[in-house]
Structure 1
Amino acid sequence: MQVVNFTEARNNLKRILDKVTDDADYTVINRRDSSDAVVMGLDYFNSMMETLHLLDTPANAKHLMESIAQYRAGQAKVKNLLDE
């Protein structure tokens, strides 16, 4: 995460946009007389929205957490995909 003021963001918009997309990160823009804003790449945003959607349902969130715990405990199995 990077934090910049509005003037810096305006003067370096291309660099900031390149950085958030290349690094899958976000930048906070501080504005003196308004609420701060966040700039992030579309892929990062879509990934975050998908995660929020998957965790929105308690049953689904529980299932995902159990799966993560199984993976961390070494109980995951590698399966080969079929070639098409």
Structure 2
Amino acid sequence: MRVVNFSYARNNLKKLIEDVVDGEDFIVISRRDAPNAVLLSLDSFNSLMETVHLLKSPANVAHLARSLAQMEQGQWIATEGVGP
């Protein structure tokens, strides 16, 4: 995580966007006397939204927890292209 001030972000927006698209997790943009913001790639944003969607349902959370426990106990079946 990197923190930059608003003026730096404004003057270097193209570079900051390239950085997050090329793999930097996210960049915090700090603002004086105002809430901060976060810059992240669309891929990271979509991944976050998918996680939020999956964890929104208690049934999904329970199913994921059971699946992880089964995997940790070695109770999984490998299929083509899939495995732990």
Same fold (TM over 0.5): yes
Unaligned stretches of 5+ residues in structure 1 = none
Q: Distance in 1 between matches of 2:73 and 2:23?
A: 30
The structural deviation recorded for 1:66 is 1.5
Matches within 5 A, 1:1-84: 1-23=1-23, 25-80=25-80
Instruction: After superposition, give the CA deviation of every residue in 1:5-63 in whole Å (9 maximum; x if it has no partner).
Output: 11111122112111111115111100002110011111110110011001101011110
> RMSD of the TM alignment (CA)?
1.5
Q: Distance in 2 between matches of 1:24 and 1:62?
A: 31
TM-score, normalisation: structure 2 = 0.85
Identity %: 52
Task: Give the 4+ runs in structure 1 shifted more than 3 A.
Answer: none
TM-score, normalisation: structure 1 = 0.85
Unaligned stretches of 5+ residues in structure 2 = none
Q: Distance in 2 between matches of 1:23 and 1:29?
A: 17
Q: Distance in 1 between matches of 2:9 and 2:41?
A: 15
